[in-house]
Amino acid sequence: MASSSSSSSSSHKNRPSVSTLFFLTLFLLSAFLFIFFFRNRDPALTLRSDLLLLHPPPLSIHVHPPNNTQTQPETETEPEAESAVATPTDTDTDTKISVDNTDDTQAESDAQDENTVNGSNGDNDSSDTDDEVGAVKKQLDCDLYSGTWVKDEGNYPIYKPSSCPYVDEAYDCQANGRKDSDYTKWRWKPHGCDLPRFSPTDFLKRLRGKRLMLVGDSMNRNQFESILCMLREGLQDKTKMYEIHGYKITKGRGYFVFKFEDYNCTVEFVRSHFLVREGVRVKAQGGSNPTLSIDRIDKTFRRWKKADILVFNTGHWWTHGKTARGVNYYKEGDQLYPKFDAVEAYRRAIKTWAKWIDHNINPKKQIVYYRGYSSAHFRGGDWDSGGSCNGEIEPVLSGSILDNYPLKMKIVEEAIQGMKFPVTLLNVTRMTNFRKDGHPSVYGRNVTGLKRVSTRRQDCSHWCLPGVPDAWNELIYANLVLQQANSRS
C-alpha cells in the first residue's frame, strides 16, 4: 500500500501543470501568427533569398591581350574560322584581337558617348524622336549621289591641311606650296536632303571590333589616307592609333594596317590595281612581258575574306598603255590573246570579281561597297602627254562635263545588278565631275624651295587632302548610319 501511494505521488509530479500547458500553447500560437503575418506581407522575400543562395550570379572575367603585337612569318595557308576579329600583320597570318561585345561598362560608356554625339542628355523627347525618324525616312528616299557642292567654311575641312601625319607627299598640297585653300571648304549636298553630319567618334563606335579594308589602286590609297585622317579627329589620345608594323605610307608598299586601340578595330589598305590577277609571261626568245588574267581573282583575295567591311575600286589603270592596247596582254585560262578589246576585258574582269564576291563573302556578316570611277581633269593632253590642271581654284558649276558618265560605270552597274550579294555602289563619278580644282596638279611634290615650278607633268587624277575623298568617306558613314536606321524602323 505504501508502495502504491509513492508511485501515484511521483506521477503527479511529472505531469505538466495546467498553467504550463497554457503558456506553451500561447507561445506556439504566437509563433505561428508571426510567421504567417510576415510571409503574407512579402511572399517573394524568402523566394528571392533562396534563389540567390542556390544560383549565385556568374563572375565576368575579361582577359585583355598584351599591347605588343608581333609580326608572324608569311604563309599561304587559309586561317581557321575564328569568333575573334583578327588583325593581320604584313603577311597572311593574323594576330588575334580579343573582342568583348558583352561588357556592360563599355555599353554604358557608348550610350553616354552616343548622347554626347547627338547633343542629347539622355532624356526621351518624343518630338525629337519623330523629327529624327522623319529625317531618316527622307534620307532613305534620297539619291545621295545626285547633288551639288556648297561652300561651308564653318565646318570644313574636317581636319586641317598638313595636320595629319598619314597624308603622303603626293597629296599634301598645302605643304607642297599650294597657296589657295578654298578647295578644302566644299561640302557635298544631295538634292532633297543632307548627309548625316560626320562624327568620327560615332564612326569608330560602328567599327568597334571590326576590320574596314579598302582594296584597289592608288585612288583607293588616296581615300584610305583620307579616312585615317578623318577618324583620327575622333581620338583624344592620338598615340593609340598606329600602323601595326611601323610602316610609313608610301607608294612602294601595298599593304597597311592601322589599329585604333581604344576601339579594337583596324582600317586597312590592300593594293590591287585590277582586282584580277596580274602575271608575267616569259618569252621563248628571252625576256618577259606582263599579263592580266581576267578570269582569275587577284592573289590578295585571302586578305579580303577576313574583312568585315570592304571598299573596292578599279578603273584608272585600265587606261594605261599596255592595258588599253591589249596586245599579248589579256589571258583567260592558258590562252593569251594576241589582241583583245580593253573594254570587253574590263567587263569580264568585273564579272570575275562579282562572281568571287557572290561565292566567298557572307552577306549576314560582311558589307561590301564598290566606289565608282573618279573623274580626271586634264587640259590639252593626258597624264603622260602634257595634260594640265594647274591654276584651277573653283569647281565647275555648269557645262557638259557635269553629265559625263564613262562606260566603265555602266559596266559596273550592270555587274552589281546581276549579283546575289547586296553590294552598295558609291557612285561618286558625277560628284567628282565638278571638282577640277581639287587635284594636286604641280603640287604633288614639295616645290616651296624651287624658284620655278615645273608644269611638264601634272597630277590631275588624284586629289589633294583634305579634299574630295573626304566626301567619299562621308558617304560610307552615311550609308552605315542609314542602313542601321532602316533595319530598326
- By annotation, the residues acting in catalysis are 218, 459, 462
| Measured distance CA(419)–CA(359) in Å, rounded | 10
